[in-house]
């Protein structure tokens, strides 16, 4: 417990003593823990562990790895700014536009619909989904407004003001950025939470698996999967042939 009370920069902390603490209406004498060092502002070890555990459950988009590392270094404002840059770069790359902020979002995601027929007359440069159902169109339009607010509101404040040293300010920005990046990758929420499957190069996995027991387990898993696939494919083919022969008879 004493080690978790120590600042990573070895700052001199107030003497640790029990104080009167209230939590959920219950009072007790206990040690007062600082989430951040009162001298330098760095996360205390207990706070660092809590943030680490959070990111272990909430998997950020891979492009935000640098922002996540900046959080661990307690560079919260830098982490937020990195998130804005990553999202804007992804939008420019996907749309092919050389614009910034609100103008970029509006021209990349905006589309036009014929009010009478409901048909799309001008497709967006970036379509988050198929834009067929009302839900899909609502998602496209709603995310466009959300991203415009993300840049015009939050990003501009970080860009032109000193927002201070705050994890509670930077963390929501990074989570929003991860959400937008997943949408741009095709993970529309209209697909009922089903992630788009991606191919895995198992040769690469094998070569980057140093544990020989893990390698053996991988080989056995893949062989079992292939046998299972062949079995069910053969069974499906046999059922289909029987059905066709019965139909012909």
| Claim to verify: residue 117 and residue 223 sit in the same structural domain | no
| Claim to verify: residue 218 and residue 155 sit in the same structural domain | no
Expressed as residue numbers, the domain containing 226 is 202-239
CA distances from 23 to 11, 20, 26, 35, 168 (A): 28, 10, 5, 16, 20
| Claim to verify: residue 207 and residue 176 sit in the same structural domain | no
User: Is 51 exposed, middle or buried (CB count within 10 Å of its CB: 0-12, 13-18, 19+)?
Assistant: middle
Q: Are 113 and 120 in contact (CB under 8 A)?
A: yes
Mean pLDDT by 10 residues, the chain (249 residues): 67 76 79 76 86 92 96 92 96 96 95 86 94 91 96 85 78 95 91 62 86 90 86 70 57
Helix, coil or strand: residue 20: strand
| Claim to verify: residue 209 and residue 182 sit in the same structural domain | no
Does a structural domain hold residue 22?
Answer: no
Token pair, residue 105, equals: 């979002």
244/240 Cα distance (integer angstroms): 6
- CB proximity list for 206: less than 8 A, separation 6 or greater: 215, 218, 219
* Tally of domains in the chain: 2
User: Is 178 exposed, middle or buried (CB count within 10 Å of its CB: 0-12, 13-18, 19+)?
Assistant: buried
Does a structural domain hold residue 68?
Answer: yes
pLDDT on residue 238: 63
Strand residues in 114-238 grouped as ranges (E): 120-122
pTM (predicted TM-score): 0.70
Does a structural domain hold residue 7?
Answer: no
Backbone torsion region of residue 124, taken as left when φ is above 0, otherwise alpha when ψ lies between -120 and 50, otherwise beta: beta
Q: Are 21 and 30 in contact (CB under 8 A)?
A: yes
| Claim to verify: residue 82 and residue 116 sit in the same structural domain | yes
* Helix axis angle, 76-95 to 101-109, nearest 10°: 40
């Amino acid at each position: 417990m004493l080690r978790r009370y120590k600042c990573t920069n070895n700052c001199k902390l107030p003497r640790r003593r029990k104080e009167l603490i209230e939590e959920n209406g219950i009072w007790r004498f206990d040690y007062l823990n600082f989430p951040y060092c009162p001298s330098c502002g760095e996360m205390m070890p207990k706070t660092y562990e809590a943030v680490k555990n959070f990111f272990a459950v909430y998997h950020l988009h891979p492009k935000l790895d640098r922002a996540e590392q900046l959080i661990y270094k307690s560079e919260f404002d830098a982490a937020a700014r990195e998130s804005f840059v990553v999202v804007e770069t992804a939008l420019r790359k996907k749309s092919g536009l050389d614009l910034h902020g609100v103008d970029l979002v509006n021209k990349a995601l905006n589309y036009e619909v014929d009010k009478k027929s409901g048909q799309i007359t001008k497709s967006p440069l970036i379509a988050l989904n198929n834009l067929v159902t009302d839900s899909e169109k609502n998602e496209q339009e709603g995310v466009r407004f959300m991203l415009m607010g993300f840049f015009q509101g939050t990003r501009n404040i970080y860009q032109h003001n000193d927002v201070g040293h705050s994890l509670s300010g930077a963390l929501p920005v990074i989570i929003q950025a991860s959400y937008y990046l997943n949408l741009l990758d095709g993970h529309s929420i209209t697909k009922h939470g089903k992630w788009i499957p991606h191919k895995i190069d198992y040769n690469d996995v094998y070569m980057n698996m140093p544990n020989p027991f893990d390698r053996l387990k991988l080989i056995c898993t893949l062989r079992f999967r292939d046998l299972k696939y062949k079995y069910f494919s053969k069974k499906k083919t046999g059922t289909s042939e029987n059905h066709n022969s019965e139909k012909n008879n």
